[in-house]
């Protein structure tokens, strides 16, 4: 499998790796990667890889189709020669884009706290994100929701992670907030992202994405449009307000 270095350190911007495969579509598979592969509503990371005097722009990172071993592939931004198998490359992220994804992702977890309803979908981009809720009626006071959300951000909660077994997750189904996407099981363990600590935990849910270390790093956010999407669903947009 491709070792996901970003799970151990979401702030790792550069790392060395070895090319172990080329996909039929022209992707570059590394033995270890700082690039997050698109999934769970979060886009794949972009950046560059270099080897010797060569440089290859990376548009995104994707999971290798049909791979049960967790391989991911880097997709070139434009047609260009790929590093050969066995080559040692230097990876460098488009850090500003990745960090924006981290801020939005953590903010969306907090949005699911101030709107404590089942989540039916979501997506993340560099400046904004959205969650879809099982919400028959629109919130009465959008400004109050925004104030509550920013108040949580300003309290500077620690964002951390832990791992539990598949069996522990099955025994605690209330941890899963998403109705449309279930956390992957079968690998033996599932990653949980926690906001808060032993004194006051405000959120704990399965998540494989990248997050900030503390909520204050998100900065101020703004709740945008709230759209009706079907009989039971409402889509709530969130924007980084800086």
Given this model, what pLDDT does residue 156 score? 97
Given this model, what pLDDT does residue 165 score? 82
Q: What is the DSSP letter of 81?
A: P
Indicate the pairing of strand 32-33 with strand 3-4.
Answer: parallel
Task: Mark the ranges of the chain whose per-residue pLDDT is less than 50.
Answer: none
Q: Write the pLDDT tens digit of every residue in 135-147.
A: 988 888 999 999 9
Given this model, what pLDDT does residue 168 score? 80
| pTM score | 0.92
């Amino acid at each position: 499998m491709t070792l996901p270095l970003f799970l151990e350190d979401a702030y790792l911007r550069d790392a060395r790796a070895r090319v172990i495969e080329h996909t039929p579509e022209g992707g570059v598979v590394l033995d270890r990667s700082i690039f997050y592969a698109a999934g769970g509503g979060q886009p794949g990371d972009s950046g560059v890889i270099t080897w010797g005097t060569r440089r290859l722009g990376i548009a995104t990172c994707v999971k290798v189709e049909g791979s049960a071993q967790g391989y991911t592939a880097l997709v070139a931004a434009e047609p260009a020669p790929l590093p050969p198998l066995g080559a040692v490359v230097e990876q460098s992220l488009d850090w500003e884009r990745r960090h924006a994804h981290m801020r939005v992702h953590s903010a969306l977890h907090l949005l699911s706290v101030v709107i404590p309803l089942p989540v039916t979908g979501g997506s993340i981009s560099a400046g904004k994100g959205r969650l879809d809720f099982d919400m028959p009626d629109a919130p009465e006071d959008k400004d109050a929701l925004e104030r509550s959300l920013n108040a949580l951000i300003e309290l500077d909660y620690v964002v951390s992670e832990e791992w539990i077994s598949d069996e522990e997750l099955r025994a605690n189904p209330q941890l899963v907030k998403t109705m449309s996407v279930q956390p992957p099981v079968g690998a033996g363990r599932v990653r949980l992202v926690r906001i808060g600590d032993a004194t006051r935990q405000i959120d704990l849910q399965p998540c494989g994405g990248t997050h900030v270390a503390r909520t204050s790093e998100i900065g101020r956010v703004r709740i945008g449009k709230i759209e009706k999407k079907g009989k039971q669903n409402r889509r709530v947009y969130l924007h980084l307000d800086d």
